[in-house]
């Protein structure tokens, strides 16, 4: 049997989809999860699960020993944290540690999971791509800043000889979004009838399983040091919420809020989160991000990798069905 590939963050939303895609393509998979992590997303899969931490270099070398490939999917995907330094440590220091460990272990090829959050946006709302200019100063919030720095680090490692391909998923939705992610929380709230209002923004919605297939394609066909957007369908937030309403039989959104009206609510939600310890349902960074239409083109991945994405409606339907089946909509 061929040497395994390691997937970091394998128990997470995107990571568990990547594990399943790799298994479908016949790869031997080793999955890295923190000692305290819930690994329910990996139940029943024919994989080797190892425990380790991105901030523990020795554990990473043990996990990577004998691996021919690495899919570095693990990331702290939060738009708010009581201590934002935790996001940066996981996403920047963690990436540094695992790339160094991969070099020491002789790993032949790496797929680094970045994000469209690292890319620039066009002021007129037309889809951006891998070449749309972006600066660190343009990054809103610690998540975007940390992913920007982590991707910059991966590109630097590629320039000095590590075989690294970078993928930039847009806004994945679908099954096994247990936490859920910020995008998944939005879909869940809409499915439960808790989003009657919306702001003028837009997202590139993609099925998490299509993102996972894109990872495998990048590993097999991607060019070293090159970035590939793994996106889907560009839709306004209102259109997304209307799709969810149609899939759940609920009333669609009826109140359009100006961003200036949403901002005080975000500040209040964050203040309460600091007191209660609960994750805020709306964040200051989220409102600032919503001032833009975050639309992206996957043309490069389609042309060079053979990447394809299904319609957003199918992705949303699968997400809602999984939430229903797992008691989130009760």
Contact 56, 93 (CB under 8 A): no
Mean pLDDT score, 309-318: 98
Handedness of CA 28, 31, 32, 35 (dihedral sign): negative
Reduce the DSSP state of residue 170 to 3 states and report it.
coil
Mean pLDDT score, 277-281: 74
If one counts every other C-beta atom within 10 angstroms of the C-beta of residue 36, the result is 7
Reduce the DSSP state of residue 95 to 3 states and report it.
helix
Mean pLDDT score, 243-272: 80
pLDDT digits (tens, 9 = 90+) for 199-224: 888 999 999 999 999 999 999 999 99
Comparison of pLDDT for 111 and 261, the residue scoring more: 111
Q: Sorting pLDDT into bands at 50, 70 and 90, what band is 47?
A: very high
Flag whether pLDDT at 280 surpasses 90.
Answer: no
Reduce the DSSP state of residue 229 to 3 states and report it.
strand
Mean pLDDT score, 258-268: 73
Distance CA 105, CA 107 (A): 6
Flag whether pLDDT at 114 surpasses 70.
Answer: yes
pLDDT at position 182 is 86
pLDDT at position 285 is 67
Edge to edge, the sheet with strand 202-207 lists 171-173, 202-207, 233-236
pLDDT at position 125 is 84
Q: Provide the token pair at 13.
A: 């939303």
Mean pLDDT score, 147-158: 96
Mean pLDDT score, 34-40: 91
Calculate what percentage of the chain has a pLDDT beyond 70: 95
Contact 236, 230 (CB under 8 A): no
Mean pLDDT score, 234-242: 94
How many helices and strands, by DSSP H and E, does the chain display? Answer: 12, 12
Flag whether pLDDT at 33 surpasses 90.
Answer: yes
Flag whether pLDDT at 116 surpasses 80.
Answer: yes
Flag whether pLDDT at 80 surpasses 80.
Answer: no
DSSP 179: S
Terminal Cα-to-Cα distance of the chain (whole angstroms): 45
Distance CA 20, CA 23 (A): 5
pLDDT at position 140 is 83
pLDDT at position 290 is 65
């Amino acid at each position: 049997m061929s040497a395994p590939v390691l997937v970091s963050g394998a128990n997470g939303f995107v990571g568990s989809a990547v594990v399943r895609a790799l298994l479908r393509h016949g790869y031997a998979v080793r999955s890295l999860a923190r000692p305290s992590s819930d690994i329910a997303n990996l139940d029943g899969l024919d994989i080797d699960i190892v425990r380790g931490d991105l901030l523990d270099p020795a554990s990473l070398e043990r996990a990577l020993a004998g691996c021919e490939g690495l899919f570095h999917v693990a990331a702290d995907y939060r738009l708010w944290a009581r201590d934002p330094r935790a996001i940066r440590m996981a996403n920047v220091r963690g990436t540094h540690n695992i790339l160094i460990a991969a070099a020491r272990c002789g790993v032949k090829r790496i797929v680094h999971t970045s994000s469209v959050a690292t890319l620039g946006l066009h002021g007129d709302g037309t889809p951006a791509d891998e070449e749309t200019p972006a600066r660190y100063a343009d990054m809103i919030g610690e998540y975007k800043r940390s992913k920007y720095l982590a991707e910059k680090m991966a590109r630097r490692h590629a320039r000095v000889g590590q075989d690294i391909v970078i993928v930039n998923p847009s806004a994945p939705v679908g099954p096994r979004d247990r936490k859920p992610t910020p995008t998944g929380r939005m879909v869940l709230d809409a499915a439960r009838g808790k989003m009657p209002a919306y702001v003028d923004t837009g997202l590139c919605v993609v099925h998490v399983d299509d993102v996972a297939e894109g990872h495998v394609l990048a590993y097999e066909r991607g060019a070293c040091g090159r970035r590939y957007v793994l996106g889907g369908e560009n839709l306004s937030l209102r259109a997304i919420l209307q799709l969810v309403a149609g899939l759940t039989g609920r009333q669609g959104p009826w109140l359009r809020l100006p961003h200036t009206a949403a901002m005080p609510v975000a500040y209040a939600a964050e203040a309460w989160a600091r007191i209660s310890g609960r994750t805020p349902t709306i964040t200051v960074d989220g409102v600032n991000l919503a001032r833009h239409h975050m639309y992206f083109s996957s043309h490069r991945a389609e042309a060079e990798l053979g990447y394809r994405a299904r319609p957003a409606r199918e992705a949303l339907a699968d997400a809602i069905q999984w939430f229903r089946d797992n008691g989130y909509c009760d």
